[in-house]
Amino acid sequence: MQAKSIPDIVIGRLPIYLRALQHMLREGRQVTSSQELGERLGISAAQIRKDLSQFGEFGKQGTGYTIKFLADRLQEILHVDRVWRVAMIGAGDLGRALAHYGGFAERGFQIEMIYDSDPEKIGTKVGNFVVRDSANLLAEIKAESIQVAMLVVPAAFAQPVAEQLVEAGVKAILNYAPVNLSVPADVHVQHIDPSTHLQRMTYYLE
């Protein structure tokens, strides 16, 4: 079955399942069930079984799932059984914090380069990186065949920078700017807007 025929909401749950399985592996566990996964994640066992069945059969009724096997298969499905090289655009406070976050490498993503247009930031170091000039972004990312980018720029600059990334051959953009991006259909954008999530939560507060 082609990945494009799978509902995006299902794809969005797979990394959550994978994270839980990897945590179980660190606990020394070998076998789990949809019921246990559901209790850990707050998702019904039936929903987990239905999601996984979109990609084949991974367990047996009465015996559950072999954790390592299922985790390996989810990594293959999500294409994170390899290391993806990532370009980050934006070396402000959030960009610098993300550059220092070690969790990306653990999950198959390696930041390779960081860009900014601020002359005061260009040439400075962020961890092991030297901030590059955004004026060279298109040529350098294209030359390095980078397919994944993190966009951590003010909203006013997000669309023009995204267009450069697309021209450079980037096919996946994690967008932290609080604005929707217009990109070709073959470029996938994931929006991360903490303020939106906060507003969603406050709906439930008195």
Query: Looking at residue 1, what is its pLDDT?
Result: 38
Domain membership of residue 158 (yes or no) is yes
Q: Kindly state whether residues 70 and 100 are assigned to the same domain.
A: no
pLDDT tens, position by position, 6-61:
898 999 999 999 999 999 999 999 999 999 999 999 999 999 999 999 998 776 66
How many CB atoms lie under 10 A from the CB of residue 132?
Answer: 21
Give the Cα separation of 145 and 125 in Å (integer). Answer: 23
Q: Which of 77, 98, 127 is the last residue of a domain?
A: 77
Number of domains the chain contains: 2
Q: Which residues of the chain have pLDDT under 70?
A: 1-4, 59-62
Query: Looking at residue 189, what is its pLDDT?
Result: 95
Domain that holds residue 31: 3-77
Query: Looking at residue 96, what is its pLDDT?
Result: 92
Query: Letter for the amino acid at 127?
Result: G
CATH number at residue 11: 1.10.10.10
Query: Looking at residue 194, what is its pLDDT?
Result: 85
Q: Kindly state whether residues 73 and 88 are assigned to the same domain.
A: no
Q: Kindly state whether residues 124 and 31 are assigned to the same domain.
A: no
Domain membership of residue 152 (yes or no) is yes
Query: Looking at residue 2, what is its pLDDT?
Result: 45
